[in-house]
Amino acid sequence: MNSFAQKSIEIGDKLNMNNQYPAIATDGKGTDYVIVEEARKKQERIVLSVFKDGVLAASDIVVSGTGLALRPTALYAEGKAWFAWSEFQDGKWSICVRTYDGALSPVTVIETGDALFYVSLAVINGKVAVLYNRQAPKKSDVILAQQKDGAFVPEKINTSVKCYRPTACQNKDGDILVVYDSFDGSIYNVLGRLCTDGKWSDEIRIDESENRCAQPVVVSPDHDLFVVCWYENGIFSFYSYNAVDIRIKDGKAERENYQVLVSNRNWYNNIDASANANGYTVFCYTIGKYNILCNIRKPDGSWSKPVLLSYNDGRCGIRGKVVLSDDNIIHYVWQWAERNGHQDRYAVAVYNTVSVNDVLACDDTEIVTKIDQFVQPIDVIKTLDKVSDEEKAAWLKKNNLDYKLLFGDIHGQSNMSDGMGELDHYYHFAMNDADMDFCALTDHDCYPDEATQSEWEWNRATRNLFNAEDDFSAILAFEWTSNEYHHDFGHKNVYYPSSEGGLYTSVSEEGLNPDRLYAAIKKDGGLCIPHHPAADWKLVSAATDWDYNDPEVQRAVEIFSRHADYEKTDAVSRYTKNIAKFPRKCVQDALARGYHLGFVAGSDSHQMEHGKEGGILGAFVPENTSQEVWSAIWNRRTYATTGARILLSFRMGDAFMGSEVSTDGERKFTCSVLAVNDIRKIEIIKNGEVVYSSVPEGRDVDFTFTDCGSDSSDYYYLRVEQVDDHIAWSSPIYIN
């Protein structure tokens, strides 16, 4: 740890509350203003601390209003500190602004609507301006609100349809550059619009990448110069932190000095940047959700080596914010969370200052080049194997299936918890890159810290936006993540059929153990699915405690994901990581207890490859709505695959897969499969044993299987294996 990191001051009581999304402003004369989003149970507020010459001078100054505050930002201008944030109250989001000059001004609400996020502040023509996203179904606008006659007047800036995360800056020549990332239907680009002499240019593409580019920050270290910083995500967990100079010549923007400062394979990204009048720029970023580092751009345009700003202690250092004052002092804050462990899952904000010269004397390149084996991707390029729409329609008709057969992935994370990329990235990837019919975003409830109610409402609002897309359903969900060092309950994903339903974290009274979780989500009409049920993390266990079960809400199990094939202990697959498993924890072990569970598969992708990495599920539904997909899961009218979109039907008379049937007579099963590659083997499993096996030719097979009657309770399911090692499992039929 660098010596200057040891001077850090922690802000917040992490034993009793969570302290998230810190931000900082400085007057450049020794006074720093640090704000954090403070969450205690289901109450949230933004709280200000004031430091004079590095010493705490005032604290616990409540900045926000009476709603749920989210993602504050800060700036010092016009002789006072400015703060802005999104706030949720009475079913609506507002963009709020407030100032502090020894006393707080009243809260100014710029706009209220259904989805207003990603607020930032800038100084334009000597006045503070506010930027934010105004989101709606199928579009997202960049709004610049400037002060006119004592009020903020919002103006739409973007011309592209879906634009996110704006920032802005004005250089000393008076040019204004607004930057944002934009989804063009295929990839995310960094775009900008330049305003010179009061006239806006067309949109300018700033990056030159085929990866997902996001969260651009623009600063100006010289009179005719802007520096734009952003992050990129690509396949196989690739990420990079990038910067480019934008030089203004004759009223036009020209790119120079394009830099990829850091690249590696890991999860999680967020960034910030600041510049001063001396020509320096500091670009800070997160590495692998564990550390905050920075690079400094010097006045000659060269960049320093990466330098550590956080503790490098194995805990989660995330969400760094930085301000560079004209005396070449870097003022910064970041969020320090305990992650999984014996401690409560709360975070504190950490405040510090350091000189540019001290940073330039350091080199922590080994941190950014380190390989984290746990997050490395599966070394298999998986294509979206599927049959044609015409073949699917003919197969459904042949089998008299009055359903649509949809495919989706309902298990993956974003950087709201410990994954890669933004919330909108997740849904756009599902629809466009993975060509899925439905998905669910299951960010952790308690990793790297406890999720807050404002984050849950942000999640809900984003889900609602994408649920309104054509031919696509988004399911409201979260991942219940029990404390793996303290309890051995395992992980469960919680799903709701509509936009209604609550967040019950594993450290809250309502979600402290599985029984409490079952009761809470049952009240809200939800269901839950345990996943990686036999996972052995070596240091910690995420395996399911099967002593806990509620058949009304625990309706299915994830049989396959990026971690392993969990059908049985000795199962392996080249499409997973094949991590270690605990004995007596797999799916067949749960079924042997008499539990009636449907089968799903998911990716558990933290790297924006859901639907491509790990598994998927097929769902038989009347229509593509979140309610119908949820109902298919609840009724066990689903099956799991390792990723190939194999068509599979498994019935006993009129009883569909997942049904419970009472009979002591003969049991006749009708099976139909249309695979996407030649079939190696088809099996029927009864009570964990193979009772039927065949090696058909080709990829299309229909057959029946008859088993004698008995007075025992049994289960049967169909397993299909292709020659390329892809597998599909039907949900079982249960005989009472």
pLDDT at 539: 62
Say whether 370 sits in a helix, a strand or coil: coil
The residues of the chain scoring below 70 in pLDDT are 1-3, 340-345, 483-486, 539-540
Task: List the one residue out of 654, 710, 656 whose CA is nearest residue 686.
Answer: 710
Structure tokens at 720: 């299909």
How does pLDDT run across 280-311, given as a tens digit for each residue?
999 999 999 999 999 999 999 999 999 999 99
In a domain, 606, yes or no: yes
Q: Taking the mean position of all CA atoms in its chain, how far away is CA 605? A: 10
pTM: 0.97
CATH of the domain at 398: 3.20.20.140
In a domain, 500, yes or no: yes
In a domain, 42, yes or no: no
In a domain, 239, yes or no: no
Structure tokens at 367: 């941190």
Cβ 281 vs Cβ 227: under 8 Å: yes
pLDDT at 692: 98
In a domain, 154, yes or no: no
Cβ 156 vs Cβ 205: under 8 Å: no
In a domain, 598, yes or no: yes
Say whether 692 sits in a helix, a strand or coil: strand
In a domain, 93, yes or no: no
How does pLDDT run across 374-385, given as a tens digit for each residue?
888 888 877 788
Per the structure, the complete domain to which residue 420 belongs is given by 377-735
What phi and psi values does residue 520 have, to the nearest 5 degrees? -65, -50
In a domain, 22, yes or no: no
Spatial neighbors of 610 by CB under 8 A, at least 6 apart, are: 409, 411, 412, 426, 429, 430, 434, 436, 439, 602, 603
Look at the chain and report how many structural domains it folds into.
1
pLDDT at 340: 60
Task: List the one residue out of 474, 403, 372 whose CA is nearest residue 620.
Answer: 403
